[in-house]
Structure 1
């Protein structure tokens, strides 16, 4: 069994740790501050409380899982770890510092799996002494619940390393893995998401629809349709001729800006930056954030198939 470490005690790190201890792995989480590590422990505990509330785990499962968890600010605790998820800021300087700390204490067989959502494997491979041991394993929030992981090698990643990463993710961690054949910024899902975000913000700015109506359209048409059949399965069902005719009518009016849109820059200037600020595209003071948290996880509760510790 792989010996797992997580470098990073933020939201992604806490969720990766929840997933790993929830499947019986002794897991070491490295953070940078005592308050950050305490927030991480609390977040992991809350993740377990959500599962218990849904009848998907017991208090004993939680207690047994938490016994598998080590939280520390000392990278030396990663010595002997064979598979490390890196979940720190999207900053090459920060990541290089983390990689140096990992490589200083870990063996040559240790796999370093970055959770980056936008940096390329080539850029990350340039930061390490052993690029053949590095892959991207990009999860999606909430990372312990949403089963998809994008696995991306660099040109220097050893095939055996890729196989080991895929075996861990698809095996005991029960993830759905998509393997990218080529390194691209934003990987796969975030490229699709950014196209939808860009068009959605454009439609709001053009006065075509509100955020509420766009979300309603996505939840009740786009989301439900592509949850049961694939996007490109649907394309094939419609057929190339009709899709060509639709594209000819729609493509000319689609948003194609290469700049950050005004609705975002205005929000940054005013401090209305999203949920944490209480205001973004929505007024979150009028929404139930706890209900939103559960709604965000709800589609994945039925897919939970962990090797729960007893």
Structure 2
């Protein structure tokens, strides 16, 4: 499909990395900034992302320069006119988002999808008061947005199937892997799976089963490696319902079933030990190699980039 232009609202990390993805696939991108500082920060983030690609042999300076030519950052919503899709990556504030949608609807075509990157607000709340609520949906990415390929596509009772299909096609054109939810639920798919693992992992620490490092070792070298190449439910089918039933009957009764935030988290917050940025959390980050952690955080995704880089 021919894609002329994609709009992005927001100049934070999500918006800037979304813009990187768009221009990195040879598509014009109009970013709406609400301050000069935000505009400059966005441009610098996009350029820095391409510098990283160049360092890893994934792009050339010519690719970078051609991509930067496709990037427009404006303070006027008029720059969105003619966009095939608009991503909204603004603050998680409904009043802010509703004002943004009104401004978008004033300049784009009536059937142009508007995709929020929210991870928490239901589509039916987002579309309230819109002229064309049938265009509203969620396309929830994962950070780093430009290199982590998964996007969760979610509609609401207001969303037209045509808007979902059009957005799906546009995301595929951007080299995304798209999970299409049949209905909206808190946390969508990925965060529900993640929270289930977080809850059980914290429970095992509290119960003295294992410490954080050993649990992470189990995830990295068993769970992570296995399910990176085959799906979780592919494996379930491979093992078989009969054996999985026997395992479940033994394990399920002993699993964590709390429905409130665990004490280990509450205590950490009270003490100011909130994780990596604080220097202490489940790990003592003063004893960890932060550069190595950041390298490991992005390395797997750099191996799976298949963009249509502009020249």
- TM above 0.5, yes or no, is yes
Moved more, 207-216 or 28-37: 28-37
> Matches of residues 135-150 of structure 1 in structure 2 within 5 Å?
135-150=137-152
- Pair 1:211–1:123, CA change in 2 (3 A): same
Identify the match of residue 109 of structure 2 among 97, 107, 116: 107
Question: Of 27, 30, 36, which residue of structure 2 is paired with 1:28?
Answer: 30
Aligned counterpart, 1:74: 76
Question: Paired residue for 1:182?
Answer: 183
SS at match of 1:29: strand
CA distance in 2: counterparts of 1:275 and 1:73, whole angstroms = 35
Question: Quick check: 1:117–1:138 contact (8 Å CA) kept in 2?
Answer: yes
Q: How does 1:245-284 map to 2 (within 5 A)?
A: 245-284=246-285
Count of residue pairs the alignment pairs up: 309
Q: Whole-Å Cα distance in 2 between the matches of residues 212 and 127 of structure 1? A: 48
In structure 1, distance between residues paired with 2:149 and 2:140: 11
Contact 1:48 1:57 in 2 (8 A): yes
Q: How many angstroms does 1:253 deviate by?
A: 1.7
After TM superposition, list the pairs within 5 Å mapping 1:127-276 onto structure 2: 127-171=129-173, 173-276=174-277
Provide TM-score, normalisation by structure 2: 0.92
TM-score (structure 1 length as normaliser): 0.93
Deviation at residue 273 of structure 1 after TM alignment: 2.5
Cα displacement (A) at 1:17: 0.7
Task: Give how far 1:127 is off.
Answer: 4.8
Q: Which runs of 5+ in 1 are unaligned?
A: none
In 2, the alpha carbon distance for the partners of 1:41 and 1:285 equals 32
**Equivalence map 1:54-93=2 (5 Å):** 54-93=56-95
CA RMSD, 1 decimal: 1.8
Q: Is the contact made by 2:4 and 2:28 (CA closer than 8 Å) also made in structure 1?
A: no
CA contact under 8 A between 2:30 and 2:72: conserved in structure 1? Answer: yes
Q: Distance in 2 between matches of 1:156 and 1:4?
A: 22
Gaps of 5+ in 2: none
2:12 aligned with 1:10, yes or no?
Answer: yes
SS at match of 1:105: coil
Question: 2-side partners of 1:202 and 1:189: how far apart?
Answer: 20
Q: Aligned in 2, Cα 1:30/1:279: closer, same or farther, shift over 3 Å? A: farther
- How far apart, CA to CA, are the structure 2 residues paired with 1:48 and 1:201? 37
Moved more, 85-94 or 18-27: 85-94
